[in-house]
Amino acid sequence: SAVGRGPEVPFSSDAYRITATSRGKELRLTLASVGSGEPLHLVFRFGMSGSFRLCPAAQLPRHAHLRFRTGESPPRALCFVDPRRFGSWRLGDAWQPDRGPCVLTEYQAFRENVLKNLEDKAFDKPICETLLNQKFFNGIGNYLRSEILYRLKIPPFERARTVLEALKDQEQARRKKNPSLTLSKKLKLMQENPDLLELCHTVPMEVIAAEKNLSEPDDTDNYAAFKSWLQCYLVPGMSSLRDRNGRTVWFQGEPGPMAPKGQTPRKKRAQLKADPQALTPKVTRRASKQSPRAATKPPKSAEEEETAGPRKGCAQGRRKATAAPALSKPEAVVKGRRSLRISARRGKGAAPAM
Protein backbone atom coordinates (compact mmCIF):
# COMPACT_ATOMS: atom_id res chain seq x y z
CA SER A 1 0.00 0.00 0.00
CA ALA A 2 1.03 3.66 -0.34
CA VAL A 3 1.53 4.05 3.41
CA GLY A 4 3.33 0.75 4.00
CA ARG A 5 6.82 1.12 5.48
CA GLY A 6 8.26 -2.13 4.17
CA PRO A 7 10.44 -2.46 1.05
CA GLU A 8 9.15 -3.31 -2.42
CA VAL A 9 8.84 -7.03 -3.12
CA PRO A 10 10.63 -7.73 -6.44
CA PHE A 11 8.76 -10.91 -7.32
CA SER A 12 6.71 -11.66 -10.41
CA SER A 13 5.10 -14.95 -11.36
CA ASP A 14 1.95 -16.16 -13.07
CA ALA A 15 1.52 -18.85 -10.40
CA TYR A 16 3.36 -19.32 -7.14
CA ARG A 17 2.99 -20.91 -3.74
CA ILE A 18 3.46 -19.35 -0.32
CA THR A 19 4.84 -21.33 2.60
CA ALA A 20 5.54 -20.06 6.11
CA THR A 21 7.92 -20.87 8.96
CA SER A 22 7.89 -19.20 12.36
CA ARG A 23 10.61 -18.66 14.95
CA GLY A 24 9.79 -16.77 18.12
CA LYS A 25 8.22 -13.46 17.13
CA GLU A 26 9.29 -13.68 13.49
CA LEU A 27 7.61 -15.29 10.48
CA ARG A 28 9.34 -16.17 7.23
CA LEU A 29 7.31 -16.38 4.01
CA THR A 30 8.74 -18.16 0.98
CA LEU A 31 7.34 -17.28 -2.46
CA ALA A 32 8.13 -20.09 -4.93
CA SER A 33 7.07 -20.05 -8.60
CA VAL A 34 5.21 -23.07 -9.93
CA GLY A 35 7.80 -24.16 -12.45
CA SER A 36 11.18 -22.46 -12.70
CA GLY A 37 12.61 -19.46 -10.91
CA GLU A 38 14.35 -18.68 -7.67
CA PRO A 39 12.19 -18.42 -4.54
CA LEU A 40 11.95 -15.16 -2.65
CA HIS A 41 12.02 -14.97 1.16
CA LEU A 42 10.46 -12.32 3.38
CA VAL A 43 10.86 -12.16 7.17
CA PHE A 44 8.10 -10.40 9.09
CA ARG A 45 7.91 -8.86 12.54
CA PHE A 46 4.38 -8.15 13.73
CA GLY A 47 4.79 -5.34 16.26
CA MET A 48 1.71 -4.87 18.45
CA SER A 49 -1.05 -5.20 15.86
CA GLY A 50 0.30 -7.03 12.80
CA SER A 51 -1.47 -10.11 11.43
CA PHE A 52 -2.30 -11.99 8.22
CA ARG A 53 -5.85 -12.23 6.90
CA LEU A 54 -7.33 -14.00 3.90
CA CYS A 55 -10.28 -12.09 2.47
CA PRO A 56 -12.03 -11.26 -0.83
CA ALA A 57 -9.79 -9.09 -2.98
CA ALA A 58 -12.69 -6.69 -3.54
CA GLN A 59 -13.11 -6.19 0.23
CA LEU A 60 -9.62 -5.45 1.48
CA PRO A 61 -9.42 -4.59 5.18
CA ARG A 62 -8.03 -1.25 6.25
CA HIS A 63 -4.27 -1.06 6.77
CA ALA A 64 -3.57 -3.98 4.41
CA HIS A 65 0.03 -2.98 3.67
CA LEU A 66 1.04 -6.03 1.60
CA ARG A 67 -1.31 -8.17 -0.52
CA PHE A 68 -0.93 -11.49 -2.29
CA ARG A 69 -3.79 -12.13 -4.72
CA THR A 70 -5.04 -15.58 -5.64
CA GLY A 71 -5.71 -16.66 -9.24
CA GLU A 72 -9.23 -17.92 -8.60
CA SER A 73 -12.41 -16.11 -9.63
CA PRO A 74 -13.40 -14.04 -7.78
CA PRO A 75 -9.88 -13.55 -6.39
CA ARG A 76 -8.98 -13.45 -2.74
CA ALA A 77 -6.06 -11.69 -1.09
CA LEU A 78 -3.70 -12.74 1.67
CA CYS A 79 -3.00 -9.42 3.43
CA PHE A 80 -0.46 -8.30 5.98
CA VAL A 81 -2.61 -5.99 8.12
CA ASP A 82 -1.00 -3.64 10.62
CA PRO A 83 -3.10 -0.69 11.91
CA ARG A 84 -0.32 0.79 14.05
CA ARG A 85 2.44 0.15 11.50
CA PHE A 86 4.87 -1.11 14.17
CA GLY A 87 5.33 -4.31 12.17
CA SER A 88 7.78 -4.69 9.30
CA TRP A 89 9.17 -7.05 6.66
CA ARG A 90 12.57 -7.39 5.06
CA LEU A 91 13.96 -9.32 2.12
CA GLY A 92 16.02 -12.46 2.72
CA ASP A 93 15.67 -15.66 4.71
CA ALA A 94 17.89 -14.81 7.70
CA TRP A 95 16.41 -14.53 11.16
CA GLN A 96 17.47 -11.55 13.24
CA PRO A 97 20.87 -12.43 14.71
CA ASP A 98 20.17 -10.93 18.16
CA ARG A 99 17.22 -13.23 18.87
CA GLY A 100 17.67 -16.41 20.89
CA PRO A 101 16.19 -19.87 20.33
CA CYS A 102 12.40 -20.04 19.99
CA VAL A 103 10.50 -20.91 23.16
CA LEU A 104 8.14 -23.12 21.11
CA THR A 105 10.17 -24.92 18.47
CA GLU A 106 13.62 -24.93 20.14
CA TYR A 107 12.72 -25.43 23.78
CA GLN A 108 15.81 -27.32 24.92
CA ALA A 109 18.17 -24.83 23.24
CA PHE A 110 16.13 -21.97 24.71
CA ARG A 111 16.42 -23.40 28.21
CA GLU A 112 20.16 -23.96 27.94
CA ASN A 113 20.69 -20.49 26.50
CA VAL A 114 19.05 -18.93 29.57
CA LEU A 115 20.66 -21.04 32.28
CA LYS A 116 24.21 -20.81 30.92
CA ASN A 117 24.07 -17.01 30.59
CA LEU A 118 22.73 -16.00 34.00
CA GLU A 119 25.77 -13.75 34.53
CA ASP A 120 24.59 -11.52 31.69
CA LYS A 121 23.54 -8.02 32.79
CA ALA A 122 20.07 -8.69 31.35
CA PHE A 123 19.37 -10.78 34.46
CA ASP A 124 20.11 -7.86 36.77
CA LYS A 125 16.71 -6.47 35.82
CA PRO A 126 13.28 -7.42 37.21
CA ILE A 127 12.02 -10.74 35.89
CA CYS A 128 9.05 -9.05 34.17
CA GLU A 129 11.45 -6.94 32.06
CA THR A 130 13.86 -9.80 31.35
CA LEU A 131 11.01 -11.94 30.01
CA LEU A 132 10.58 -9.46 27.15
CA ASN A 133 14.26 -9.68 26.17
CA GLN A 134 14.13 -11.56 22.85
CA LYS A 135 17.82 -12.46 23.10
CA PHE A 136 16.83 -14.98 25.76
CA PHE A 137 13.00 -15.25 25.61
CA ASN A 138 12.27 -15.22 21.89
CA GLY A 139 8.48 -15.40 21.58
CA ILE A 140 7.37 -14.09 24.98
CA GLY A 141 5.27 -10.93 24.89
CA ASN A 142 3.40 -8.70 27.29
CA TYR A 143 0.31 -10.79 28.05
CA LEU A 144 2.32 -14.04 28.19
CA ARG A 145 4.73 -12.74 30.84
CA SER A 146 1.84 -11.76 33.11
CA GLU A 147 0.20 -15.17 32.72
CA ILE A 148 3.45 -17.07 33.37
CA LEU A 149 4.43 -15.12 36.50
CA TYR A 150 0.89 -15.29 37.88
CA ARG A 151 0.72 -19.08 37.66
CA LEU A 152 3.93 -19.43 39.65
CA LYS A 153 3.08 -16.60 42.10
CA ILE A 154 6.35 -14.85 41.27
CA PRO A 155 6.40 -11.08 41.98
CA PRO A 156 7.02 -9.33 38.64
CA PHE A 157 9.69 -7.04 40.07
CA GLU A 158 11.82 -9.75 41.67
CA ARG A 159 15.38 -9.82 40.31
CA ALA A 160 15.54 -12.18 37.34
CA ARG A 161 18.78 -13.83 38.41
CA THR A 162 17.32 -14.61 41.85
CA VAL A 163 14.39 -16.43 40.23
CA LEU A 164 16.38 -18.33 37.61
CA GLU A 165 19.40 -19.37 39.67
CA ALA A 166 17.05 -21.48 41.77
CA LEU A 167 16.03 -23.33 38.59
CA LYS A 168 19.67 -24.01 37.77
CA ASP A 169 20.23 -25.59 41.17
CA GLN A 170 17.02 -27.62 40.89
CA GLU A 171 18.00 -28.95 37.48
CA GLN A 172 21.43 -30.06 38.67
CA ALA A 173 19.89 -31.81 41.68
CA ARG A 174 17.32 -33.52 39.44
CA ARG A 175 20.00 -34.85 37.11
CA LYS A 176 22.03 -36.27 40.00
CA LYS A 177 18.97 -37.94 41.46
CA ASN A 178 17.58 -39.31 38.17
CA PRO A 179 20.38 -39.44 35.58
CA SER A 180 18.50 -41.81 33.27
CA LEU A 181 15.08 -40.13 32.99
CA THR A 182 13.26 -40.99 29.78
CA LEU A 183 11.64 -38.29 27.68
CA SER A 184 8.14 -39.37 28.74
CA LYS A 185 9.09 -39.11 32.43
CA LYS A 186 10.63 -35.68 31.84
CA LEU A 187 7.41 -34.51 30.21
CA LYS A 188 5.38 -35.89 33.09
CA LEU A 189 7.53 -34.04 35.62
CA MET A 190 7.19 -30.86 33.55
CA GLN A 191 3.40 -31.11 33.59
CA GLU A 192 3.18 -31.89 37.30
CA ASN A 193 5.67 -29.29 38.57
CA PRO A 194 6.40 -26.76 35.84
CA ASP A 195 9.06 -24.13 36.41
CA LEU A 196 9.26 -20.70 34.81
CA LEU A 197 11.17 -21.81 31.71
CA GLU A 198 8.80 -24.71 31.13
CA LEU A 199 5.81 -22.38 31.34
CA CYS A 200 7.47 -20.15 28.75
CA HIS A 201 6.91 -23.12 26.43
CA THR A 202 3.59 -24.57 27.61
CA VAL A 203 1.58 -21.35 28.11
CA PRO A 204 1.97 -20.12 24.50
CA MET A 205 1.33 -23.69 23.37
CA GLU A 206 -2.08 -23.48 25.05
CA VAL A 207 -2.99 -20.58 22.78
CA ILE A 208 -1.71 -22.33 19.66
CA ALA A 209 -3.40 -25.61 20.53
CA ALA A 210 -6.78 -23.95 21.11
CA GLU A 211 -9.51 -24.89 18.66
CA LYS A 212 -10.10 -21.25 17.76
CA ASN A 213 -7.66 -18.51 16.91
CA LEU A 214 -7.89 -16.89 20.33
CA SER A 215 -5.91 -13.81 19.38
CA GLU A 216 -8.14 -12.70 16.47
CA PRO A 217 -9.70 -9.47 17.79
CA ASP A 218 -12.18 -8.99 14.94
CA ASP A 219 -14.03 -12.21 15.73
CA THR A 220 -16.28 -11.59 18.74
CA ASP A 221 -16.45 -15.28 19.70
CA ASN A 222 -12.70 -15.71 19.44
CA TYR A 223 -11.96 -12.63 21.52
CA ALA A 224 -14.45 -13.77 24.18
CA ALA A 225 -12.71 -17.16 24.29
CA PHE A 226 -9.34 -15.44 24.62
CA LYS A 227 -10.59 -13.29 27.51
CA SER A 228 -11.96 -16.33 29.31
CA TRP A 229 -8.59 -18.09 28.87
CA LEU A 230 -6.70 -15.23 30.54
CA GLN A 231 -6.12 -15.67 34.26
CA CYS A 232 -4.22 -12.45 35.04
CA TYR A 233 -3.76 -10.07 32.11
CA LEU A 234 -6.56 -7.44 32.09
CA VAL A 235 -8.49 -9.54 34.61
CA PRO A 236 -10.61 -7.63 37.19
CA GLY A 237 -9.03 -7.67 40.66
CA MET A 238 -5.47 -7.83 39.35
CA SER A 239 -2.98 -5.02 39.96
CA SER A 240 -0.86 -3.32 37.33
CA LEU A 241 2.32 -1.26 37.13
CA ARG A 242 4.40 0.13 34.30
CA ASP A 243 7.89 -1.29 34.01
CA ARG A 244 10.93 0.85 33.15
CA ASN A 245 10.22 0.40 29.45
CA GLY A 246 6.70 1.80 29.79
CA ARG A 247 4.96 -1.57 29.34
CA THR A 248 2.15 -2.47 31.74
CA VAL A 249 2.55 -5.70 33.68
CA TRP A 250 -0.39 -7.33 35.49
CA PHE A 251 0.03 -9.29 38.72
CA GLN A 252 -1.51 -10.33 42.03
CA GLY A 253 -0.05 -9.58 45.45
CA GLU A 254 3.16 -7.69 46.10
CA PRO A 255 5.05 -6.31 43.08
CA GLY A 256 8.52 -7.20 44.39
CA PRO A 257 11.61 -5.35 45.68
CA MET A 258 12.56 -3.76 42.32
CA ALA A 259 9.20 -2.10 41.69
CA PRO A 260 9.49 1.41 40.19
CA LYS A 261 9.51 4.20 42.76
CA GLY A 262 6.68 6.68 42.82
CA GLN A 263 4.08 4.35 41.33
CA THR A 264 1.08 2.93 43.12
CA PRO A 265 -0.30 -0.37 41.83
CA ARG A 266 -3.67 0.10 40.16
CA LYS A 267 -6.39 -2.53 40.45
CA LYS A 268 -8.67 -3.33 37.56
CA ARG A 269 -12.29 -3.06 38.55
CA ALA A 270 -14.94 -5.38 37.25
CA GLN A 271 -17.40 -3.79 34.87
CA LEU A 272 -20.94 -4.22 36.09
CA LYS A 273 -23.25 -5.72 33.50
CA ALA A 274 -26.97 -5.15 33.39
CA ASP A 275 -28.96 -8.06 34.77
CA PRO A 276 -31.97 -8.71 32.53
CA GLN A 277 -33.60 -10.67 35.37
CA ALA A 278 -33.44 -7.76 37.81
CA LEU A 279 -36.63 -5.85 38.54
CA THR A 280 -36.75 -2.35 37.13
CA PRO A 281 -37.48 0.20 39.87
CA LYS A 282 -40.41 2.54 39.32
CA VAL A 283 -39.32 6.07 38.51
CA THR A 284 -41.59 9.09 38.84
CA ARG A 285 -41.86 11.64 36.09
CA ARG A 286 -39.93 14.23 38.07
CA ALA A 287 -37.18 11.81 39.08
CA SER A 288 -36.69 10.66 35.50
CA LYS A 289 -35.88 14.24 34.48
CA GLN A 290 -33.23 14.74 37.17
CA SER A 291 -29.61 14.91 36.19
CA PRO A 292 -27.41 11.96 37.31
CA ARG A 293 -25.74 14.27 39.81
CA ALA A 294 -29.02 15.35 41.34
CA ALA A 295 -30.29 11.78 41.47
CA THR A 296 -27.52 10.84 43.91
CA LYS A 297 -28.67 13.42 46.48
CA PRO A 298 -31.37 12.55 49.04
CA PRO A 299 -34.76 14.07 48.17
CA LYS A 300 -35.84 17.21 50.01
CA SER A 301 -38.84 17.12 52.28
CA ALA A 302 -41.95 18.98 51.28
CA GLU A 303 -41.22 21.68 53.86
CA GLU A 304 -37.73 22.24 52.44
CA GLU A 305 -39.19 22.37 48.94
CA GLU A 306 -41.54 25.16 49.97
CA THR A 307 -38.98 27.29 51.82
CA ALA A 308 -36.34 26.84 49.13
CA GLY A 309 -38.49 28.52 46.48
CA PRO A 310 -38.63 27.55 42.81
CA ARG A 311 -35.65 25.64 41.38
CA LYS A 312 -33.64 27.12 38.56
CA GLY A 313 -35.09 26.17 35.22
CA CYS A 314 -38.55 25.54 36.68
CA ALA A 315 -39.71 29.14 37.18
CA GLN A 316 -41.26 29.51 33.75
CA GLY A 317 -43.27 26.33 34.09
CA ARG A 318 -44.53 27.34 37.52
CA ARG A 319 -45.58 30.78 36.33
CA LYS A 320 -47.60 29.16 33.60
CA ALA A 321 -49.28 26.88 36.09
CA THR A 322 -50.10 29.82 38.38
CA ALA A 323 -51.44 31.89 35.54
CA ALA A 324 -53.96 29.24 34.57
CA PRO A 325 -57.49 30.61 35.06
CA ALA A 326 -58.87 27.62 36.92
CA LEU A 327 -57.83 24.23 38.21
CA SER A 328 -59.36 21.17 36.69
CA LYS A 329 -60.80 18.59 39.03
CA PRO A 330 -57.82 16.19 39.00
CA GLU A 331 -55.40 19.05 39.72
CA ALA A 332 -57.52 20.16 42.68
CA VAL A 333 -57.40 16.65 44.16
CA VAL A 334 -53.60 16.51 43.79
CA LYS A 335 -53.26 19.90 45.49
CA GLY A 336 -55.48 18.78 48.37
CA ARG A 337 -53.43 15.62 48.92
CA ARG A 338 -50.19 17.60 48.91
CA SER A 339 -51.57 19.95 51.58
CA LEU A 340 -52.56 17.01 53.82
CA ARG A 341 -49.06 15.52 53.56
CA ILE A 342 -47.44 18.83 54.46
CA SER A 343 -49.75 19.21 57.47
CA ALA A 344 -48.84 15.75 58.70
CA ARG A 345 -45.12 16.51 58.53
CA ARG A 346 -45.59 19.69 60.50
CA GLY A 347 -47.01 17.69 63.40
CA LYS A 348 -50.66 18.58 62.97
CA GLY A 349 -51.67 14.95 62.95
CA ALA A 350 -51.31 11.91 60.80
CA ALA A 351 -52.38 12.16 57.22
CA PRO A 352 -55.59 10.25 56.53
CA ALA A 353 -55.45 7.31 54.20
CA MET A 354 -56.29 8.08 50.59
The CA distance from 318 to 310, in Å, is 8
CATH number of 107-268: 1.10.8.50
Residue 58 has, within 13 A of its CA and on its CB side, a CA count of 4
* Burial readout 103-112 (b: 16 or more C-beta within 10 A, e: otherwise): bbebbeebbe
Q: What phi, psi does 168 have (nearest 5°)?
A: -65, -45
**Sheet order of strands, 64-69 included:** 51-56, 76-81, 64-69
Q: Give the burial class of 291: count Cβ atoms within 10 A of its Cβ; 0-12 exposed, 13-18 middle, 19 or more buried.
A: exposed
Q: What phi, psi does 23 have (nearest 5°)?
A: -150, 110
Q: Give the burial class of 298: count Cβ atoms within 10 A of its Cβ; 0-12 exposed, 13-18 middle, 19 or more buried.
A: exposed
- Domain range annotation of the chain: 16-91, 107-268
Class level of CATH domain 16-91: alpha beta
Question: CA geometry: angle at 145 spanning 144 and 147, to 5°?
Answer: 65
pTM of the model: 0.68
Q: pLDDT in tens for each of the 354 residues of the chain? A: 888 888 999 988 888 999 999 999 999 999 999 988 889 999 999 988 899 999 999 999 989 999 998 888 999 999 999 998 899 999 999 999 999 999 999 999 999 999 999 999 999 999 999 999 999 999 999 999 999 999 999 999 999 999 999 888 777 666 666 666 665 665 555 556 789 999 999 999 998 887 655 555 566 677 788 888 999 999 999 999 999 999 999 999 999 999 999 999 998 887 654 444 444 444 444 444 444 444 444 444 433 433 344 444 444 444 444 444 444 444 444 444 554 454 444 554 444 444
